[in-house]
Amino acid sequence: MKAAVYYGPGDVRIEDVREPEPPGPAEVVIQVKMGSLCGTDASQYKAATMVPLDGPHRVSGHSGPVILGHEVVGVVVARGSEVTHLEIGQRVVPGAGWWCGECPRCKEGRINICENYYLYGIHANGGLAEFARFPAQMSMPVPPECSDEAAAMAQPCAVALHALARGRIAIDQTVAASGIYSWPPYRLRLRVDSESSPSMLSRAGSLPPSGWARSPRSTPVRMIQLPPLSS
C-alpha cells in the first residue's frame, strides 16, 4: 500500500509499505478516507523533535521512519475479537493519542496527559496510508451527516474543545487571543457555536482557515483584535 513516510526534516516520501498486521483483540484496521496535517506535522518537517528516528520510543517502542497522520477518518475493515462498539464498514476517527488507563493521570480521567502517552503518526505509525491499525478505544464513530473533510479535523477540534472547557470562557466575557494563526480563531468559533449547535464535527469543515471567526448568529464572545507582534 502507499503511505507518507517521514524520514527526517524535509524528507517525507510517498512509498510502498507493508499493509498493517491484522488487528489485535482490542484494535481495528481502517481504510483511510482522508487525513489532515497540523502544526505538529509542520514542526517535525523542520526538525525531528518528536519522531523517534534514532532509538525506540519509551512506550510505543517504535524506532526510525514513521508513517505520519494523527488526524484521519476511515472505514473499519477489520476488528479485534474484543471490539463490540464498532462495526465493519463504520466510519471512525481515531483520536490518535494513546493512553494507558492505569497511571495516576488516567485514573483522574485526564487521559490526554497520561504518563505513558504517545501519538500515532508521530511516535508510532499513523494514518497517512491506505490502511492503518489503531486501538479501538480511541476510535470514535462518525455520524452520517458529518463530511469526511470535517471528520478529518475532529482530532484538533477535540483539542480545541478540551482547551475551551479547561479555560472556562463565560458568555459575554471579553477575551484576548494571542498568537493568531489558524487555531485560536478555530477555538473561538467553536466556543461561539457551542451555544447553539450540538454538532461540532459537522461544522468544523466550514471553518475559515484564518482570521477572525464569527458566529452566524449573535456573537456571545466579544473579541479584540490586537496587532501582530513584530518578531
| Binding of Zn ion by 138 (CB under 5 A) | no
Nearer to Zn ion, 12 or 100 (CB): 100
Beta-strand (E) ranges in 158-204?
A: 174-176
Looking at the Cβ atoms of 12 and 175, the one nearer to Zn ion is 12
Residues 131, 146: contact at Cβ < 8 Å?
no
90 binds Zn ion per the rule CB under 5 A: no
Q: Which one, 7 or 183, has the nearer CB to Zn ion? A: 183
Residue 139 parent element (H or E): strand 139-141
CA–CA gap between residue 140 and residue 231 (Å, rounded):
40
Of 44 and 65, nearer to Zn ion (C-beta) is: 44
How long is the chain?
231
Q: How many C-beta atoms surround the C-beta of residue 230 within 10 A?
A: 4
Query: Is 128 a binder of Zn ion (CB under 5 A)?
Result: no
Compute the least distance from the CB of residue 209 to Zn ion, in Å: 15
Three-class SS state of 185: helix
Binding mask 91-120 for Zn ion (x = CB under 5 A): --------xx--x--x-------x------
Q: Residues 8, 31, 40, 148: which binds Zn ion (CB under 5 A)?
A: 40
The single residue listed with the C-alpha cell 484538533 is: 156
Residues that bind Zn ion (CB under 5 A): 38, 40, 99-100, 103, 106, 114
